[in-house]
Amino acid sequence: MVTSSHINAPVVLVAAVASGQGKTTATAALARKLAGMGRKVRVFKCGPDFIDPMLLERASGAPVKSLDLWIVGREACRAQLAQAALEADVILIEGVMGLYDGSPSSADLAREFGVPVMAVIDAGAMAQTAGALVHGLRDYGPVDMAGVIANRVASPGHAAMVAASLRDIPLFATLPKQARSLPERHLGLVLPSEVDGIDDILDQLADQLNFDEAAWSNLRSTRLELGDALAATGTDTEQPLAGRKVAVARDAAFMFLYPANLETLAGLGATVEFFSPLADQPVPAGADAVYLPGGYPELHAEKLARAQHWQESIRAAHRDGMPIVAECGGMMALADTLADRAGTAWDMAAVLPGRVAMQARLAGLGSQGMPTPHGVLRGHTFHYSTLETPLEPAVRTVKHPSGADGEAVYRLGSLTASYFHAYFPSNPAAVAAMFTRSAG
């Protein structure tokens, strides 16, 4: 039990003027550097994301959770930060997109909790203009600007020019142009488990981070106002899924999953058992429900097409009326066919009538909420494929903050399928209903 109303902890939000400046690289390098110095580091990711947290977990050695004022909620964000402050020596929060992009933005999160901003700038094609850029980032909001990490710095002389231009804002660290960068694909970074020598790359980034230890030591602690945030968590003892087993697909094709979703299922009383459709594993015996999260089925379509045991088992589960929740990539794997980026169509499980096709341009992006009888279930969408189906949506999600129609949610017997990725803690009652056989 926490008795004080606040905790002091060094916390910074690592942000940038736009995507592509090197936020994730800088955050990973800083986390690895601090961990190598013996600090206990906790990292959070601002906004909805699945891939960056995997890399940051590898860099820091600790689980990475999401912070989002709308999807996660203010009090849940506050509680997560407070708990981390009890356990860690330092907290890093990687921002999303540009500092002021989105509603809520990374800047909104920083101001809500009084977290100073560490700006990452791509200095590869600038020198003194860095100061104008960073002062603009600070003053536009405004935000409390802790300092700067300059990426792609060419030399000590270049670093000195950048530092002088910042005036009253410290240059905390620099990174040179990396010979080995973190590879990317259409949904973001390549998964850490797929990158040969990923730990060597992270170690090299940490070594290359020219780090001002004195400036870091002088960074003031952030006063996190806890209120009753920690005391209020974990007080709900109702477990509507007690005694139920939820089979969760988990492999290289299905890995886009909020850790908090598994915690919510456990909190509702469910037992989780993982299985791999990609390894042609059937739905586990004794399962009461199936959860198919998103991922990269398009990269493994040929192998999924050959996974007959998996396909037959999910069709049997559907015929039996077992609740199946399929999100984005999980839904794609249940269609009749999936056409990969080369245009080759592969046979999928044929539970959901329709054809999925990959495309070059983004098909859906942003925070959304799904209406349910238990209230709104919040989450997001991010995909490069489209589904052509004769089914009519049972409901549509609502885009935040515009209120416009979002993703279609299909219900076919016991199946609930959508491109929408739900954040389960936002509405546990709605989640329990989706995984209950009697749910309408």
* Assigned domain for 200 exists: yes
- Dump the DSSP string for 90-107: EEEEE--SSTT-SSS-HH
Tokens of 332: 């794609």
38 Cβ contact list (under 8 Å, min separation 6): none
Catalytic (active site) residue 46:
no
* Structure confidence at residue 217 (pLDDT): 75
* Structure confidence at residue 237 (pLDDT): 64
Question: What is the pLDDT averaged over residues 34-49?
Answer: 93
Residues 187, 288 within the same domain? no
Q: Of 188, 216, 231, which one is at a domain's C-terminal end? A: 231
Q: Which long-range contacts (CB under 8 A, 24 or more apart) does 100-109 make?
A: 100/140, 100/141, 101/18, 102/47, 102/367, 103/400, 103/401, 104/68, 104/69, 104/70, 106/13, 106/15, 106/46, 106/47, 107/15, 107/141, 107/143, 108/69, 109/13, 109/46, 109/67, 109/68, 109/69, 109/77
Rounded Cα gap, residues 196 and 182, in angstroms: 11
Among 34-38, 129-133, 182-186, 398-402, the least confident range: 182-186
* Structure confidence at residue 221 (pLDDT): 62
| Domain around 51 | 7-231
Rounded Cα gap, residues 188 and 50, in angstroms: 9
Residues 213, 271 within the same domain? no
Q: Of 177, 197, 231, which one is at a domain's C-terminal end? A: 231
Q: Where do we find the tokens 């002021």?
A: 100
Query: pLDDT over 90 for what percent of the chain?
Result: 79
Q: Of 328, 333, 348, 370, which is the active-site residue? A: 328
* Structure confidence at residue 72 (pLDDT): 97
- State the total domains in the chain: 2
Tokens of 344: 């080759």
pLDDT in tens, 57-74: 999 999 999 999 999 999
Sign of CA dihedral 248, 249, 252, 254: negative
Burial of 430 (0-12, 13-18, 19+ CB in 10 A): buried
Residues 245, 216 within the same domain? no
pLDDT in tens, 71-128: 999 999 999 998 998 889 899 999 999 999 999 999 999 999 999 999 999 999 999 9
Question: What is the pLDDT averaged over residues 366-371?
Answer: 97
CATH number at residue 352: 3.40.50.880
* Residue 210 phi, psi dihedral angles, 5° rounding: -80, 105
Residues 50, 156 within the same domain? yes
Q: Give 223's pLDDT tier (boundaries 50, 70, 90).
A: low
- Average pLDDT of the chain, as a whole number: 91
- Cβ distance 4 to 226 under 8 Å? yes
- Cβ distance 318 to 324 under 8 Å? yes
CA atoms within 13 A on the CB side of 38: 0
Question: What is the pLDDT averaged over residues 356-378?
Answer: 95
- Cβ distance 192 to 58 under 8 Å? yes
Residues 148, 267 within the same domain? no
Residues 161, 248 within the same domain? no
Q: Give 4's pLDDT tier (boundaries 50, 70, 90).
A: very low
Residue among 219, 221, 234 at smallest CA distance from 80: 234
- Cβ distance 378 to 408 under 8 Å? no
Q: Which long-range contacts (CB under 8 A, 24 or more apart) does 364-369 make?
A: 364/406, 364/407, 364/419, 366/399, 366/400, 366/406, 367/48, 367/68, 367/70, 367/71, 367/102, 367/399, 367/400, 367/401, 368/397, 368/398, 368/399, 368/400, 368/406, 368/407, 368/420, 369/397, 369/398, 369/400
* Structure confidence at residue 183 (pLDDT): 62
pLDDT at 235 over 80: no
Residues 251, 224 within the same domain? no
Q: Give 179's pLDDT tier (boundaries 50, 70, 90).
A: low
pLDDT in tens, 125-154: 999 999 999 999 999 999 999 999 999 999
**Peptide bond between residue 401 and the one before it cis (omega within 30 degrees of 0):** yes
Q: Where do we find the tokens 């094609």?
A: 125
Residues 216, 93 within the same domain? yes
pLDDT at 1 over 50: no
* Assigned domain for 70 exists: yes
* Structure confidence at residue 5 (pLDDT): 45
Residues 173, 263 within the same domain? no
CA atoms within 13 A on the CB side of 414: 19
277, amino acid identity: P
Residues 188, 290 within the same domain? no
* Structure confidence at residue 216 (pLDDT): 77
Residue 167 gets which letter from DSSP? T
More confident: 212 or 308? 308
Tokens of 351: 């539970």
pLDDT at 7 over 90: no
Q: Give 215's pLDDT tier (boundaries 50, 70, 90).
A: confident
* Structure confidence at residue 178 (pLDDT): 79
* Assigned domain for 1 exists: no
Q: Of 231, 254, 281, which one is at a domain's C-terminal end? A: 231
* Structure confidence at residue 432 (pLDDT): 97
- Cβ distance 131 to 166 under 8 Å? yes
CATH number at residue 13: 3.40.50.300
Q: Give 181's pLDDT tier (boundaries 50, 70, 90).
A: low
pLDDT at 398 over 50: yes
Question: What is the pLDDT averaged over residues 428-439?
Answer: 90
Residues 222, 242 within the same domain? no
* Assigned domain for 419 exists: yes
* Assigned domain for 440 exists: no
Rounded Cα gap, residues 343 and 357, in angstroms: 8
As separate numbers, helices (DSSP H) first and strands (DSSP E) second, the chain gives 14, 26
Question: What is the pLDDT averaged over residues 276-287?
Answer: 98
Buried b (16+ CB within 10 A) or exposed e, 310-331: bbebbeebbeeebbbbbbbbbb
Q: Give 191's pLDDT tier (boundaries 50, 70, 90).
A: low
Cα dihedral 176, 179, 180, 185, rounded to 10, equals 90
* Assigned domain for 254 exists: yes
* Assigned domain for 325 exists: yes
* Assigned domain for 2 exists: no
* Structure confidence at residue 198 (pLDDT): 86
Residues 150, 293 within the same domain? no
